[in-house]
Structure 1
Amino acid sequence: MDLPAQRRLKAIQSHVLSSTNADQSDLQANLTSSQFVHRQQYSVCLPEKLQTGKWNVYRSARSPMKIVTRFHDHPEIETLHDNFVHAVKTFGDYKYLGTRARADGMIGEYTWMTYGEAGAAREAIGSALRFHGLQKGACIGLYFINRPEWLIVDHACTAYSYISIPLYDTLGPDAVKYVVNHADVQGIFCVPETLNTLLSFISEIPSVRLIVVVGGVDEHLPSLPLASGVKLISYTKLSSE
C-alpha cells in the first residue's frame, strides 16, 4: 500500500505533462517589478502544462531546476520568523501595517505602524504569553477580523513557537467551540464583539487559560469566576507586561 506522501506525489504527477524537450532553452523569463527593483527577473516558466487547464508552472529564476531551502544571498533566512526579522532589520523605518479610522461616516487618513514598531509589538506579545505560562507549542486562537493586531499575534506565534489557530466568527459559535476543543487552544485573542460569544460557552472549552481582548478596556471587562481558571486581560495591558 502506498504511503500518504506517495499517493500525494502520484496525484500531483497526474496533473503535470512533462516536456519531451529537456533543453533548458524552453525556460521563459517572467519579468516582474516592485517598489525597489525594476524589471528584475524573479521567476521562469517551466516547460510543463497542467492537464486541467492552460496554466504555467513557475519556479524561482535563481533555481529553476530544483527547490531550495534558503536564499543564496541570505542564507540566514530559513523560516517565516527569520524572514520577518530580516525585514525589521532592513526596513525598520518603512511603513508596514496601516489602518483607517471611520468618523461620522467618513474614512480618515491611514495611520501606519513601521516594521520596527511591529517587531517590538511582536516581542511584547510573545514574551507576555510566555509570562502567563503558555509553553512552546501551545495553540493560540485568533477570533477577530483582519487588523494589525491579528498579524502581530501571528508574528508572535512564529517567533515564540506557538501555533496560531484562526477562529472564524462567520461559521458560528458551534464551529468556534469545536475548533478550540479539537486544537486544545490555550489562549484566545478576540474583540469585545466576539468576547460575548466566547463567554457564552466558556465552561465548554476547558483548555482555554487566557483570553486577550483587542480594543478592550480592562476596567470594562467582565469578571470571571475563579473556578473558571481563565485569565481575562486587554491587549493593551498584555503588551505592556
Structure 2
Amino acid sequence: MTDRQEFTEPPQFDLSILTYDEFLRFLFDRKIVDDCIERDQYFFGGAVLFNADNPRQLVENLTTMFGSVKLLLSRFSAPQISQGLQELFDPMGPAVERILLSSNVPRANRQECFRSIGRMYTEVVVEWPEETIPSIFEMLWHAIGMEFWFEISRRLTSSLSSEDSQKLDDMFEVLREMLLSPHGLCQHFALHGLGHVRHPDGRRVIQEYMDRLGPDVSPSRRLWMEQCRDGTVM
C-alpha cells in the first residue's frame, strides 16, 4: 500500500491587497516580454489561483487606473501599459472581468469603472502613441461581455435577474457613448464591444449606425458590422 499523497493548496494571488501605487508598479513597472507563457510566469510566478478578498478595493483601483492612463503614459511606456492591461484580462491570469462583474461589487462602483474604461477609449486610445494599436484594446470589452454571458449560461437560466439586467444596461450605455465618438477607431471598438455584450437594444443601435454610413462601406467591413449587430462577431 502506498502512502496517501498529501494535498497541497495551490499558491494564490490577490491583487486587492495592493495599494494603488503598488498596483500600478506591479502592472506597469516591468520589462517587455513577448512570449505570453513567459509573460504569465514573469508576472505571477507560480500562482495558479486568483482571488480578491476585497473586490471593491480592486475595482476602485481599476477605476482610477483606467481614468488616468493619459497621465500614466508620462510615467510608463505605452508598451508597458498595454502589456499590464493584457495581463489583467488574461484568462489564464487574474481575468479581472470576473471580479468586476461579481455581485460583491456595488453597482455604483461597477458603473464608474465601466465609465472610466469608456473615457480611456474616447480620450486616450484614439491618440495611442504606438503605430500599431495593441490587441488588448480590441479584446477588453470582448473579455467583459464573454465573461458576463458565460456566468449566465453556467446558471442555466433562461432570463436575466434584475442585477444581471443592470450590468447589461450599464455596459451598453458606455459602449453606446463610445459609438458616438467622432473617432472611427473608437467607433470600431464600440461596435466590437456591442457585438459581445449583446444587449437587446444593441442590434437596433448598430443597424442605425450602419444606415448612417450609407453604401460607401467595403463589403468586408459591412459583413463585420453585421456580425457585430447579430452578436456573432469573433
The TM-score normalised by the length of structure 1 is 0.27
Which of structures 1 and 2 has the larger relative contact order (alpha carbons within 8 angstroms, sep 6+)? 2
Q: Which has the larger radius of gyration?
A: 1
TM-score, normalised relative to structure 2: 0.27
